[in-house]
């Protein structure tokens, strides 16, 4: 794994949360995006070399809506950048890690993504992100 790619934060209200983080960080989001496969609207902020991703549910049955219902707003996941997502999936599976799904899919910010199951990572949802070519 190369670095922490971003930290994902589940929010109830994107407009209010964007305003809050804009006040906190001194500038607005550089990108907002709907990710239909995950049922979320995302908003990305940069702070130095780091990124924060805000995630708002687009339906009551989306993973983010379920997360907020169970745990409230807050840190949802930590994403790590990887060069070869399939190789990393195999390496981690061989070490006994479990995945939410084992097939990478298109995520926000031009990434291919996959999530490790929090039961195998001390209760923390881990996302692997690989830059999409093109």
Percent of the chain with pLDDT over 70: 99
Q: Using CA atoms, how far apart are residues 66 and 41, in angstroms rounded to an integer?
A: 15
Inform me whether the pLDDT recorded for 134 exceeds 80. Answer: no
Mean pLDDT for the stretch of residues 83-106: 95
Residue 131 phi, psi dihedral angles, 5° rounding: -60, 135
Of residues 76, 85, 75, the one with CA closest to residue 105: 85
The values of phi and psi at residue 35, to 5°, are: -120, 95
Q: Are 54 and 18 in contact (CB under 8 A)?
A: yes
Average pLDDT over residues 49-67: 95
Q: 20 falls in which pLDDT band (50, 70, 90)?
A: very high
One DSSP character per residue, 11-51 reads ES-HHHHHHHHHHHHSS--SEEEEETTTTEEEEEEEETTEE
- pLDDT of 130: 97
* CA atoms of 113 and 35, how far apart (whole Å): 12
**Using one digit for the tens of pLDDT, what is the confidence trace for 1-17?**
889 999 999 999 999 99
* Residue closest to 75 by CA, chosen among 6, 122, 121: 6
Mean pLDDT of 112-123: 95
CA distances from 80 to 27, 90, 106 (A): 24, 16, 15
The neighbouring-strand residues paired with 45 are: 52
Question: Who has greater pLDDT, 102 or 12?
Answer: 12
């Amino acid at each position: 794994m190369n670095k922490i790619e971003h930290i994902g934060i589940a929010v109830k209200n994107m407009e209010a949360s964007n305003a809050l983080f804009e006040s906190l960080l001194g500038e607005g989001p550089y990108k907002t995006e709907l990710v239909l496969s995950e049922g979320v609207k995302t908003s990305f902020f940069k702070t130095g070399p780091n990124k924060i991703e805000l995630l708002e549910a687009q339906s009551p049955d989306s993973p983010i809506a379920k997360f907020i219902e169970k745990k409230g707003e807050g840190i949802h996941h930590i994403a790590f950048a990887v060069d070869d997502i399939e190789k990393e999936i195999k390496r981690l599976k061989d070490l006994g890690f479990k995945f939410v799904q084992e097939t990478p899919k298109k995520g926000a910010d031009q990434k291919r993504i996959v999530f490790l199951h929090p039961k195998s990572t001390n209760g923390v949802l881990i996302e692997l992100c690989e830059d999409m070519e093109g």
